[in-house]
Amino acid sequence: MSDCFEQIRKDAYTKLASISDDEITVLDNPKDANFLESGDYCEVWEVKTGLYDNVKSVWIIDELTMYIALSSLFPLEPAKIYYDKNDFEKLGYIPHSSFLRNDVCVYDEFVIVDQSNPTGILIDQLSKAKKTLIEGLKGENFEDFEDEFVAYWNTSGNHKDKLLSESIYSVIGKEPKNYNSLHLLTYSIKSSKKDKTLAGILYNKEEDLIQPYQQYFESQDYSTKEYEVFFVKDETRLTRPPFTISCFESLEFIKEENQKNFKDYFNKSPVRILVFGKTINDEKKYFGWSYPDIDFKIKGFRQSKLTPYNITFNKGLPGHKKNVKRFSSDSLSEQRLIRRTASEVQTPKNYKFLVAGIGSVGSNLVGLLNNLNNPEFALIDNDKLSSENIKRHLLGFHYLNQNKALALKTYLKHKLPSQKIQFSESSIFDFYNQNKRKVNAQDYMFLCLGKLNLEKWFITELQKGELKKPVFILWVEPYLIGAQLLYLHPENLPKLDDLFSDIYKYRFSIISPEEYEKKRDLFMLKESGCQATYSPYSSAHLSLFLSAAYLKIVEVIENSNNQSLFYSWIGDIDIAKKLNVTLAKDSYEKYSLINNTL
């Protein structure tokens, strides 16, 4: 694949190096960068710098090596900022920094940057990274550890620190009352060989929330096993990393009145798991760890005299030094999923549709497009389906942790095995550049990415004549107060200035463009810090928008329309009033579609 942005990177480097006080060099080989997770970067710049406290006018760290890592999509997506792994001892554990990857989080994945100013992007990122490190070293942002507790708990502090490989979910509604209230239901595929556990679900035996899952596993011919876990209620001492815990150290979390119960549990249970609750941002979450397998073959001891508890916790035996395997339970509760979260037209023609972005919008759109006589699909997405998505995604529990494009192909194949469906786990940018002929063999291309910079790039490909087929773009605004449907035909393309406002939002946005900067914290919510940012809207409003959009899409397809169109959908404007969000106009009619004049 040709390197589309090589010259942009060269120009950005020349400009940055000339105006920066830091010593910046381009590494000959990106893998020479001294951070633990190199990632898929086409270029890495080494930055010799320091951290200066402007308030006290002192150097906190006078020598620090940082890295600017750029993917082949820069400036369509921001760079990543890392620091040298050998400098970890100078920095320690700091919020917004993964100590295993040695990165510094400065932008969330939804950020929209001015791609026309690549150097400005890098200056802003490097400045924010230094500010984050300085605030961490001064202890000014330690409260942010609470927001990111889940991310740090699920990150190994070192290569000896162990995490449980199986996925653990939870369906806990009421807080458990006793140490033996929680159970774990594991499920695995039945086979002639030893069953392999795929995952487990924590539940409160005093509730009946596990029954639907038990019935589901039975219908899918999965084998299940049920285990008791030991619950220690709320844990408030675990506040900041590192979270490496040895078997012996784990006894500190057992209250004195529960020591005997824990010992009895440990000696009788085939699987030994401890779970605790923790309230994060007013939400109860459940974490825990499993203990290592017991080895009874210890020289100098008779096996009959050894108990699992003694082998694991006796300071005279090697087992007490082993680390527990941590896990967090991914909640499947209705409350969490809610928070995160047409007409049937048949035609005899066999259409070919490429759909990029199989998230909430893309998956449900595919479900509607599939009514058009089961068309051929090319499904493109490089992400996996996670539990927080399933409330408003077309796919559900069965497809968790599977690639979204592959999972949707499987879903459609279950309905009609003969349907022709291709899929790719690549990004749409890479797929397009490697398969232009295949892309241009489609009848229509649908972009459901939610990434404005990338969408603008594809529009320029249309304008250059490289992309030769009509493109639909679907964009949803926060809380689905509004949404956009663009239809761009190669024979009748508008100018970019006719589509976008000065601050890089769609020109006909229902929410006033200025509000996106003023109310960013309202529009981009965080479940566990900047590493898990999401845009809020409900599945009900998504269905209303897609129903309206689907009718227009069908009209365009049925009439072979060669005129570009720009529709704006007005959602529940009462939400805007409740949130004090200013709209672009005062005359909008709730749940209506506007045909904008280009």
DSSP of 57-72, one letter per residue? TEEEEEEEEEEEEE-T
Could you tell me the two tokens for 510? Answer: 């229902």
- Tokens 């508008």 locate to 494
Check: CB of residue 41 under 8 Å from CB of residue 18: no
Extended beta strands in 292-449, E state = 325-328, 330-331, 352-356, 376-380, 421-424, 444-447
Distances (CA, A) of 422 to 181, 350, 385: 46, 15, 18
The pLDDT score that the predictor gives to residue 191 is 64
> DSSP per residue over 337-353, as a string?
HHH--------SS--EE
The pLDDT score that the predictor gives to residue 342 is 36
- Give the containing element (helix H, strand E) for 182: strand 182-189
Kindly report the CATH class assigned to 6-142.
alpha beta
Check: CB of residue 583 under 8 Å from CB of residue 510: yes
The pLDDT score that the predictor gives to residue 547 is 96
**Phi and psi for 485 in degrees, rounded to 5?**
-130, 115
Closest CA to 532 of 131, 108, 45: 108
**Phi and psi for 384 in degrees, rounded to 5?**
-100, 155
How many Å apart are CA 472 and CA 446, to the nearest integer? 5
- Tokens 């309230």 locate to 279
HSE, CB side, 13 Å, CA atoms: give it for residue 535: 22
82 DSSP β-pair partners: 67, 103
- Domain definitions of the chain by residue range: 6-142, 151-332, 341-595
Q: Looking at this protein, which amino acid is placed at residue 563?
A: Q
The pLDDT score that the predictor gives to residue 18 is 94
How many Å apart are CA 56 and CA 170, to the nearest integer? 48
pTM: 0.75
HSE, CB side, 13 Å, CA atoms: give it for residue 371: 14
- Contact residues for 490 (Cβ-Cβ < 8 A; gap 6+): 462, 465, 467, 468, 469, 470
How many Å apart are CA 413 and CA 420, to the nearest integer? 9
Burial of 449 from C-beta contacts in 10 A (0-12 / 13-18 / 19+): buried
Ordered mean pLDDT values, 10 residues apiece, the chain (598 residues): 83 93 92 74 93 90 93 90 90 80 78 83 92 88 80 77 87 92 90 66 92 84 92 86 90 92 94 92 90 74 74 86 92 67 51 96 96 91 89 91 94 84 95 96 96 92 95 94 95 89 80 81 65 73 96 94 95 92 91 92
Could you tell me the two tokens for 179? Answer: 């140490």
Check: CB of residue 425 under 8 Å from CB of residue 382: yes
How many Å apart are CA 151 and CA 154, to the nearest integer? 5
Q: Which fold has domain 341-595?
A: Rossmann fold (3.40.50)
